[in-house]
Amino acid sequence: MTDSFDVTPEDSVTLTQILTRIDSSNVTLSATPGAGETQIADYLTAWLQHRGIETHRIETVSGRPSIVGVIRGSGGGKSLMLNGHIDTVSLTSYEREPLSGHIGEKDGSPVIFGRGALDMKSGLAAELAALAATKARKTPLRGDVIFAAVSDEEDASQGTRDLVAAGWRADGAVIPEPTNRVLITAHKGFVWVEVDILGTAAHGSDPASGVDAILQAGWFLTALEEYQRRLPVDEMIGPASLHCGLIHGGEEPSSYPAKCTVTIEFRTVPVQSDESILSDLKHILATIAHARPTFRFNEPRLTLSRPSYKLPVEHSLVQQTAAIARDVYGSSPSIESMAIWCDAALLAAAGTPTIVIGPAGQGLHAKEEWVDVQSIRETEEIFIRLISEFCS
């Protein structure tokens, strides 16, 4: 292993630089295939094994490994999972030197630059540093500490789905997404549904025989717009939403289109379910068909679903972390929901209460990405204290 990928460092800032220099761009996410997670998984394995930490590799899909490190407790304590994704988005959209990991300056403060430095190599580094501190303790904790470095969060969450399927659970979990020092306890889910509106193919000169599926879809789109206004609102997360992300129909201008397919994305709140959304769409379609005899459709089909996530603010993990963060930051962190989806929902659905808190910076998925150095150290300190208190 080269000096750049040295496994001896244990401070979160140096580790952020090392991890940023390892290309772990997602293989399936972007038009330009990435390097994948194998090299960073190998580094993390070597780092864990260098410290004698129990290590497991999960790789149900070739080339998409996730790594689990475990520090076993003496027994009788609560277990805490430190979960973080090891993939990044594409390097091609980065303006220059995406793998530099160099320290520069923004607004008078030191920052680390590079693709994934913020999202989320710095969070992973803070977890590793906390793990090293835990391993070095003279008195072992009673509860287990589980480090889960997962693949593919930026696309299909293969890593955390593999982790859950393999049976890994904990009494609590923390994910260091870059929250800019905000403590996140909730976020929306998302659901993709395809609906086929059916017409009758015919020559463009034969309107008596043809039924235009694209025009028929207009009635459905109008009904969706009305339905959108009635979507539920969650007091913490905010309003559910929908939009039509894709529409496809027809073969050529000179023919009546036999089918028009609309793909709808729902951003969901906890009261919604796959079943309730499909039921609502079926009702909308049936109502249109009753009023308009030429309107025909196929049953709506779910193509992807990810659950929403909400942990009560009163939960002990939330309050314990908020108290620790207040001491580290010097002021109480804001407790909020976030608009984006993350793996917290999958962990929570499997029975592991999860919070999200992490470093500050800018440039998520953008042409320049950077993370504030002080916020990395703060995140490390929060994790060290949380492990000590939660697993004692």
| Residue of 9, 7, 12, 79 lying closest to 381 (CA atoms) | 12
User: Chain centroid to CA 387: how far?
Assistant: 23
**DSSP string spanning 232-262?**
-EETTTEE-EEEEEEEEE-S-TTEE-SEEEE
Residue written as token pair 């009494």? 171
Weakly modelled stretches of the chain, pLDDT under 70:
1-4
pLDDT of residue 373: 98
153-165 CB burial, b ≥16 within 10 A, e <16: bbbbbbbbbbbbe
Each residue of 267-300: pLDDT tens digit?
999 999 999 999 999 999 999 999 999 999 999 9
Q: Kindly list the distances between the CA atom of residue 265 and the CA atoms of 72, 156, 158, 232, 244, in Å, as whole numbers in the listed order.
A: 42, 15, 20, 15, 6
pLDDT at 4: 53
Task: Tell me how crowded residue 384 is: count the other CB atoms within 10 A of its CB.
Answer: 19
Own/partner pairs, 208-211, CB within 8 angstroms, 24+ separation: 209/256, 210/255, 210/256, 211/256, 211/294
> Cis ω on the peptide bond leading into residue 120 (within 30° of 0)?
yes
Q: For residues 159 and 103, what is the distance between their CA atoms, to the nearest angstrom?
A: 30
Interval 330-374: pLDDT, tens: 999 999 999 899 999 999 999 999 999 999 999 999 999 999 999
Locate 209 and state its tokens: 């025989």
- Phi, psi (rounded to 5 degrees) for 90: -60, 150
CA–CA distance, 297 with 256 (Å, rounded to integer) = 16
Between strands 80-85 and 301-306, the pairing is unpaired
Domains of the chain: 12-187+308-391 (3.40.630.10), 189-306 (3.30.70.360)
Cα–Cα distance list, 225 to 50, 264, 282, 327 (Å): 57, 12, 15, 47
Residue 5, φ and ψ in degrees, nearest 5:
-115, 40
Distances from the Cα of 93 to the Cα of 25, 155, 264, angstroms: 11, 16, 27
Cα(264)–Cα(246) distance, integer angstroms: 7
Pairing of strands 80-85, 172-175: parallel
Strands 354-356 and 233-234, by their bridges, are: unpaired
The DSSP call for residue 368 is: S
Give the C-alpha separation, 295 to 193, whole Å.
19
Residue whose tokens read 């609560």: 78
Which residues, 6+ apart, have CB-to-CB distance to 163 below 8 Å? 58, 66, 68, 83, 148, 150
